[in-house]
Amino acid sequence: MKFTTAALLIFSICLGLSCTAQVPETKADSLKIVYFGSSVPWGYGATKEHGYTYVFNNILNKRSADGTGKNWKTANISKGGDNTIKLIARWGKELMPQKGKYVVYALSLGNEGIHEAGKPRLDQFKTNMTKLIDMARDSGYVPIITNCYTRNDFNKKDYAFVKDLNLWINALDVPSVNVLGAVDNGFGKWAAGYWSDPAHPNNSGHAEMAYTIVPSLFDALANGKPQPKWVAGSHFSLKGKKNLINFKADNIVHSFTTTITIKADGKGRIMLLTDSAGHIGSIAVKDNGTVEYTSPLYQQTSGSTKITDGKWHTITLTHFYARNQTLLYCDSTLQGTVAEKISIKELALGDKTAKIHAKNWLFYRSGMNLSEIAALTNNTLLKSSLELYAPLNGQNNTALINLAQSTNVLTWVK
């Protein structure tokens, strides 16, 4: 004799048996992002708690409205005081019912207890975050991680732990966001004027953190674009090119880092930088073989390291908008600084008179500290807030490839 499911359920109830009706699972929304973290991603410190996730949601909505991005939906289940232990405990009850496709883990070492307990809490974060990543993937979610950030009670040792953890996050096979580089004063505390209380940013601090998220990251993920991998052995000659290779960043850019590895036989321009007001600056090799940065605001700083030696050198320009500072590096050596606030809109690579070969051009939406600069110099591909990675492998259209998880493209311009 055959029974329907309903009949069997009634029969079980009549027998006083415990049973659970089989309800088909709701399919996950492929365009839904869930923020899962602590008080800062919730918005604490901002007016009406409209923090950096709220600001980024507005960026996504604008991209959807103008046809450049997908129609994303978001949910925020972050809670003040949460750490990796609490997220694991809340997982099944609060994240899974969201039925999203992407989960943004947004936590700090402050809530983990790094200031009070030191390295064991750093190890705890790494162990539990690894578990959270596995839980996400096993459940059909795509995980994204925000790097750890500042607090005004952090000391030198705490700051070292934060930088160590962020390098670890950069190395994961997971998209990540460098929020530290937007609000760091250089000593692990909030930049002056960008905090609401010792543990939280104000409106301005939240806005800076929002700008570190690559606007097209989720579009790239939805399109199946993989994590970038370092390409060795490629290069591109800037000499004799009539056209420049142009990169245009999405939305507003405040803090940023751009780096390129070059071999110079003589003087020449490496890169042009255009700000949001249309002012143009540059990075160039001077007559004496050193590197010079000319700001779009017309300030200059020159280095002392001679690079016209037939060897490859990594040139990095990093800008911290909140702390009003731009730093020029050759390899891991600081060449000079400029006090300024700039908002970069476009970069252009090349110069028809330059005696320069180039490879591995990168652009990040965040400033970088010395430990990160050193990693780049050692050919470590950092991925947090990476909007452009062009290996520059080839002489024609192959030089235009962007491996970063963004939808930004490189173009030829005169």
**Is residue 3 scored above 50 in pLDDT?**
no
230 domain residue, yes or no:
no
CATH number at residue 408: 2.60.120.200
| pLDDT mean over 369-377 | 97
252 domain residue, yes or no:
yes
* Distance (Å, whole) CA 235 – CA 359: 4
Q: 203-211 and 52-65 are packed helices; what angle lies between their axes, rounded to 10 degrees?
A: 50
| pLDDT mean over 282-297 | 96
E-assigned strand segments in 107-222:
142-146, 176-177, 195-197, 200-201
Residue 264 shares a structural domain with residue 326: yes
Q: What does the pLDDT read at residue 24?
A: 39
Q: What does the pLDDT read at residue 70?
A: 98
Q: Quote the pTM value.
A: 0.92
Q: What does the pLDDT read at residue 347?
A: 96
Domain boundary among 170, 192, 222: 222
| pLDDT mean over 385-391 | 97
**Is residue 334 scored above 50 in pLDDT?**
yes
CATH number at residue 173: 3.40.50.1110
Residue 183 shares a structural domain with residue 263: no
**Structural tokens at position 125:** 């974060």
Residue 399 shares a structural domain with residue 280: yes
**Is residue 10 scored above 70 in pLDDT?**
no
* Distance (Å, whole) CA 158 – CA 161: 5
| pLDDT mean over 113-123 | 96
By the 8 A CB rule, do 281 and 299 touch?
no
Q: What does the pLDDT read at residue 244?
A: 84
Number of domains in the chain: 2
Residue 211 shares a structural domain with residue 244: no
pLDDT 10s digits, 78-114: 999 999 999 999 999 999 999 999 999 999 999 999 9
257 domain residue, yes or no:
yes
By the 8 A CB rule, do 122 and 114 touch?
yes
Residue 292 shares a structural domain with residue 334: yes
Q: What does the pLDDT read at residue 412?
A: 84
**Is residue 236 scored above 90 in pLDDT?**
no
Q: Which of 13-22, 141-150, 226-235, 353-362 has the lowest mean pLDDT?
A: 13-22
Residue 242's pLDDT band, with cuts at 50, 70 and 90, is low
Helix (H) or strand (E) holding 333: strand 333-338
202 vs 414, which has greater pLDDT? 202
Residue 370 shares a structural domain with residue 341: yes
* Distance (Å, whole) CA 18 – CA 405: 49
**Structural tokens at position 297:** 């605001």
**Is residue 6 scored above 60 in pLDDT?**
no
pLDDT exceeding 90 applies to what percent of the chain?
83
CA atoms 248, 69, 97, 172: torsion sign: negative
* Distance (Å, whole) CA 7 – CA 18: 15
pLDDT 10s digits, 57-72: 999 999 999 999 999 9
* Phi, psi (degrees; rounded to nearest 5) at 384: -70, 125
Residue 267's pLDDT band, with cuts at 50, 70 and 90, is confident
- Which residue range(s) make up the domain with 59? 32-222
Residue 62 shares a structural domain with residue 138: yes
By the 8 A CB rule, do 40 and 51 touch?
yes
Residue 265's pLDDT band, with cuts at 50, 70 and 90, is confident
**What is the SS3 assignment for 372?**
helix
Buried b (16+ CB within 10 A) or exposed e, 198-226: ebbbbbbbbbbbbbbbbbbbbbbbbeebe
Residue 169 shares a structural domain with residue 242: no
Q: Which of 224-228, 274-278, 410-414 has the lowest mean pLDDT?
A: 410-414
Nearest Cα to Cα of residue 407 among 275, 251, 261: 251
**Structural tokens at position 179:** 């929020």
**Is residue 18 scored above 50 in pLDDT?**
no
43 domain residue, yes or no:
yes
Instruction: Please provide the average confidence, as pLDDT, over all residues in the chain.
Output: 91
Helix (H) or strand (E) holding 34: strand 32-37
**Is residue 329 scored above 50 in pLDDT?**
yes
Looking at residue 242, the DSSP 8-state letter turns out to be S
| pLDDT mean over 172-182 | 98
Domain boundary among 157, 190, 222: 222
